[in-house]
Structure 1
Amino acid sequence: MSLELDASQVDVVIAALHPNLTHFLEEWRPILSRYHLIIIKDPDMEEELQIPSGFDHQVYTKSDMEKVIGQTSIKFSGHSSRYFGYLISRKKYIISIDDDCLPARDSQGFLIDAVAQHITNLSTPATPFFFNTLYDPYREGADFVRGYPFSLRTGVECVMSCGLWLNIADYDSPTQAVKPEERNLRYVDAVLTVPVRSMMPVSGINLAFRRDIVGPAMFPALRLAGEGKRRWETMEDIWSGMCAKVVCDHLGLGVKSGLPYVWRGEGADGGDALESLKKEWEGVKIMEQVVPFFQSVRLPRTAVTAEDCVIKMAGLVREQLGPLDLVFKNAADAMEEWVKLWKASTSQSITDS
């Protein structure tokens, strides 16, 4: 389905973890030169960013973060820098792309316009309540299969689009350690709606969402005192994604996964898998407690916005997971702090306008 794309409604958020963005942006120029870019410089990076000319962009640094967030336990560093971009954006759509990803090509060798595909996913309905075995029924040349209830064929609004990647797969450290040479070179031309009540690992590597609807559920919360002893960056996306999926299920909204692809460069796996495993292992184990919790969460009918849902979930996290590990109590605190930041930011944008 071909849709007219209004570039003024899109912010592309890039967490800059490498100082030289020249190669990255030049490769993306045919696609990203149409859009406004929010570039968040990793606050731990000392070097100056190198950005080629010809892009409509704004760079945010550690000092900008401190001005906006004030005193809070929320940390924006490393990959979680992207969440600051989500906070300060004022656009309807947010596209998140890592700076170690380049545009991919389809099975015929044509460049994939990741932004356009994400917006197509978000602009067409999702079908979370009954699975269509021929993938996305709203795509040109496709339709609903025999037996699909007509009462559900209008679908629901899609507010999250989870893209995929070729080359370096997004494996956790244990899998990387046993499959260090494995690469994903299989292009699958498909988009699926994730069924209601199904959890999935979300990654900000290649992601799009409706900021105005589900943005308050996209936050960095899974942090723990003793930075460096445990690696939480990869788990933060997963925690945030499950929070967002619970919100979508509760509010009757849709999430899609599949196209578009990006190409993840060598080195995107974070280096030595065994070293990563030492830092990530506690996080890997803790997911065995996290997933059953989110699978069982049921929110009250009084929660009618994403902000309401996050506050209610924070209380459940503190009550049910808090006694198991300090990280969960800290996460509940961060969830509540994020909603306050979000409301303050939205209020400020209305005042400024």
Structure 2
Amino acid sequence: MSLAIKDDEVDIVIGALRSDLTTFMNEWRPMFSRFHLIIVKDPDLKEELKIPEGFNLDVYGKPDIDQVVGSSTSILFSGYSCRYFGYLVSRKKYIISVDDDCLPARDPKGFLVDAVAQHISNLTNPATPFFFNTLYDPYAEGADFVRGYPFSLRGGVKCALSCGLWLNLADHDAPTQALKARQRNSRYVDAVMTVPAGSLIPISGINIAFEREAVGPALVPALKLAGEGKCRWETMEDIWSGLCVKVVCDHLGLGVKTGLPYIWRTDRGDPIASLKKEWEGVKLMEEVIPFFQSVRLPREATTVEECIVEVAKAVKERLGSMDPVFARAAKAMLDWIKLWQSVGSSSSRSSAV
């Protein structure tokens, strides 16, 4: 049975990479109006934000980021990673993350998909990572466990992370985008499943929800730069973050779900430009994945912060000599934990943007 989540327990974090949020906010108004919003403006965005009235929100910009982060030069919140600052300053139990180039989707019957409600449903129903249920989410209305599913495991575990999917523009890498520039995703699969323990998953902060205290520090913006800081790896940052959080969830016995809800992705940028930025990162991922598949954390690591510290140590020891970017990533992970702990329960409010 699911647990109820109160409206005031949820923050919706929006990374603002464009200045005019009028259409975005109005399209999401039916789902967002009940909740508190955190809008983080990309520090590189010079124009003032245009935000319609009628929302309960706080806006954070470069002055706020500089004030909170201080001299932590290994932690950068520019570009797509501005959303991570929202995770940092939130004081709510649950966070839902949506980017400003995403709109509500519609199901095959034409009904508007309430992505917020679906994420909340995913998080408040147990996950089943230790034995796969072939009927997908057994806690969904009308579903059940299949024959042979161990009764001892049917209680499930806490679901700490919900990863939604995209319609229109699929979550392709830059090479696939370049080769299939006109391809669109119109396939709506009405299903939610738990990612099995021991299996990794690429995530995107464009459409996720999570329990902040349970896994927030594991969503770490660490794999930031290549080429001595001269080249952004863009979406590789989210991939790294997803690998970290899945390893931590497996170690702590927490669940990760994927599937519903869908959002409608409207913009993905220039795939050739993205490929030029990310190609070195794409190649190195072939070494990174086996590393994360083999990571085993000590029993003594019983909190998410302790787990990330251990992962950072392993990154430095086993990947640091492969490329300088990994040594910097290990340092950024440790800096992130210190920053997370230093911000603690203090409250930060926005300055005028």
Is this a same-fold pair by TM over 0.5?
Answer: yes
Corresponding residue SS for 1:111: coil
The residue number in structure 1 matching 2:121 is 120
Corresponding residue SS for 1:11: strand
Please give the alpha-carbon distance, in whole angstroms, between the structure 2 residues aligned to 1:260 and 1:12: 15
Q: Is the CA contact 2:113–2:262 (under 8 Å) kept in the aligned structure 1?
A: yes
- Higher mean alpha-carbon deviation, 225-234 vs 245-254, is at 225-234
AA paired with 1:52? P
AA paired with 1:144? F
Corresponding residue SS for 1:154: coil
The residue number in structure 1 matching 2:269 is 270
Q: Is the CA contact 1:170–1:269 (under 8 Å) kept in the aligned structure 2?
A: no
The residue number in structure 1 matching 2:198 is 197
The residue number in structure 1 matching 2:298 is 300
Please give the alpha-carbon distance, in whole angstroms, between the structure 2 residues aligned to 1:3 and 1:156: 13
- Higher mean alpha-carbon deviation, 245-254 vs 3-12, is at 3-12
Cα shift at 1:276: 2.0
The residue number in structure 2 matching 1:87 is 88
Cα shift at 1:163: 0.3
Number of residue pairs aligned between Structure 1 and Structure 2 = 347
Cα shift at 1:233: 1.9
Write the mapping of 1:304-343 to structure 2, written as runs, cut at 5 A. 304-343=302-341
- The superposition leaves residues 74-118 of structure 1 with CA deviations (integer Å, 9 ceiling, x where unpaired) of 000011000000000000000000100000011111111111100
Please give the alpha-carbon distance, in whole angstroms, between the structure 2 residues aligned to 1:212 and 1:316: 23
AA paired with 2:15? A
Cα shift at 1:260: 0.3
- Higher mean alpha-carbon deviation, 215-224 vs 37-46, is at 215-224
The residue number in structure 2 matching 1:348 is 346
Using a 3 Å threshold, how does the CA distance of structure 1 residues 153 and 166 change in structure 2: closer, same or farther?
Answer: same
Corresponding residue SS for 2:37: strand
Using a 3 Å threshold, how does the CA distance of structure 1 residues 349 and 20 change in structure 2: closer, same or farther?
Answer: closer
Write the mapping of 1:72-151 to structure 2, written as runs, cut at 5 A. 72=72, 73-151=74-152
The residue number in structure 2 matching 1:23 is 23
AA paired with 2:276? K
Q: Is the CA contact 2:2–2:121 (under 8 Å) kept in the aligned structure 1?
A: yes
AA paired with 2:178? A
Cα shift at 1:18: 0.5
Q: Identity percentage over the alignment?
A: 68
The residue number in structure 1 matching 2:351 is none
AA paired with 2:21? L
Q: Is the CA contact 1:229–1:279 (under 8 Å) kept in the aligned structure 2?
A: no
Corresponding residue SS for 1:291: helix
Cα shift at 1:223: 1.8
Q: Is the CA contact 1:39–1:59 (under 8 Å) kept in the aligned structure 2?
A: yes
Please give the alpha-carbon distance, in whole angstroms, between the structure 2 residues aligned to 1:63 and 1:102: 28
Please give the alpha-carbon distance, in whole angstroms, between the structure 2 residues aligned to 1:248 and 1:3: 20
Write the mapping of 1:202-213 to structure 2, written as runs, cut at 5 A. 202-213=203-214
Corresponding residue SS for 2:344: helix
> TM-score scaled to structure 2, two decimals?
0.96
Q: Is the CA contact 1:104–1:166 (under 8 Å) kept in the aligned structure 2?
A: yes
Please give the alpha-carbon distance, in whole angstroms, between the structure 2 residues aligned to 1:290 and 1:160: 22
Spell out structure 1 runs of 4+ moving beyond 6 A: none
Using a 3 Å threshold, how does the CA distance of structure 1 residues 3 and 309 change in structure 2: closer, same or farther?
Answer: closer
Corresponding residue SS for 2:66: helix
Cα shift at 1:231: 3.5
Please give the alpha-carbon distance, in whole angstroms, between the structure 1 residues aligned to 2:5 and 2:302: 29
Q: Which runs of 5+ in 1 are unaligned?
A: none
- The superposition leaves residues 209-256 of structure 1 with CA deviations (integer Å, 9 ceiling, x where unpaired) of 000110111121002255785342201111011100000000000000
Write the mapping of 1:43-82 to structure 2, written as runs, cut at 5 A. 43-72=43-72, 73-82=74-83
Please give the alpha-carbon distance, in whole angstroms, between the structure 1 residues aligned to 2:84 and 2:141: 34
Using a 3 Å threshold, how does the CA distance of structure 1 residues 4 and 157 change in structure 2: closer, same or farther?
Answer: closer
Corresponding residue SS for 2:193: strand
The residue number in structure 1 matching 2:42 is 42
Could you say what the CA RMSD is over the residues aligned between the two structures, in angstroms? 1.5
> TM-score scaled to structure 1, two decimals?
0.96
Please give the alpha-carbon distance, in whole angstroms, between the structure 2 residues aligned to 1:228 and 1:315: 21
Corresponding residue SS for 1:58: strand
Corresponding residue SS for 1:348: coil
